[in-house]
Amino acid sequence: MENRGKYIIFEILNPLSNKTRSIDSLNINTMENQSKPECCPQLNPELWDDKTFEWENKLFIKDKVCTLFYMPMNFGKVIRRLDAKVSKAGAQMPDWLCLSDHTSKWNMDVYLAVDKEIPDAENTKLTGKFYSRVYEGPFKDTGKWCKDFETQAKAKGYTISKWYMWYTTCPKCAKKYGKNYVVVIGQV
């Protein structure tokens, strides 16, 4: 670990390749309760809460997660597979943004933001206007969050054409940080 001013550099070991990757965009000022690096950087909710933004051909790689009544069964395995492809390509994951699209009780498509096209991956781009809100709490509150999101979006005059969930941390990191932030992002 190397300290560069207000930024800190982590070398993270990729368990699939035994190679390390630098992650150099983590701001020390937003990393509370950090005695050691974990797999998920801590989200600064102010950057995503109640925000409207536009993406023009924002690049992602897409994969599928098996779900059982919307509960992910192999999320970690899929993320490790995507991370291996990103690492092999020498690419980065901006904001560690990973959108989930619950297409049915049995499937969830995940979209991992990347900074360049990734060989041997399903590369896709998102374009449009989006609205986001940050929620915190247990996953059982997802239904309440979605109702609130829809209410807030309608109050702004938005009609949601596509919904995404961004589960910002794994359970281990959520426990460490003391917050389980989930960002709901809707294409409007």
Is the alpha carbon torsion for 142, 145, 146, 147 positive or negative? positive
Please report whether residue 81 resides in a domain: yes
Please report whether residue 120 resides in a domain: yes
Please report whether residue 18 resides in a domain: no
Please report whether residue 26 resides in a domain: no
Q: With bands split at pLDDT 50, 70 and 90, how would you rate the model's confidence at 36?
A: low
Dump pLDDT digits (tens) for 43-96.
999 999 999 999 999 999 999 999 999 899 999 999 999 999 999 999 999 989
Please report whether residue 151 resides in a domain: yes
Is the alpha carbon torsion for 44, 133, 85, 115 positive or negative? negative
pLDDT at 33 over 50: no
Q: Give the global pTM.
A: 0.79
Dump pLDDT digits (tens) for 135-172.
999 999 999 999 999 999 999 999 999 999 999 998 89
pLDDT at 181 over 60: yes
Please report whether residue 17 resides in a domain: no
CATH of the domain at 66: 3.20.80.10
12 strand-pairing partners = 21
Spatial contact of 108 and 67, defined as CB atoms under 8 Å apart:
yes
d(C-alpha 159, C-alpha 172), whole Å: 35
The residue range of the domain holding 66 is 48-187
Backbone dihedral angles phi then psi of residue 77, each to the nearest 5 degrees: -65, -40
Residue 166: burial class (beta carbons within 10 Å; 0-12, 13-18, 19+): buried
Please report whether residue 10 resides in a domain: no
| Residue located via tokens 């395995």 | 77
Please report whether residue 22 resides in a domain: no
Total structural domains within the chain: 1
d(C-alpha 150, C-alpha 146), whole Å: 6
pLDDT at 24 over 90: no
d(C-alpha 182, C-alpha 97), whole Å: 11
100 strand-pairing partners = 110, 165
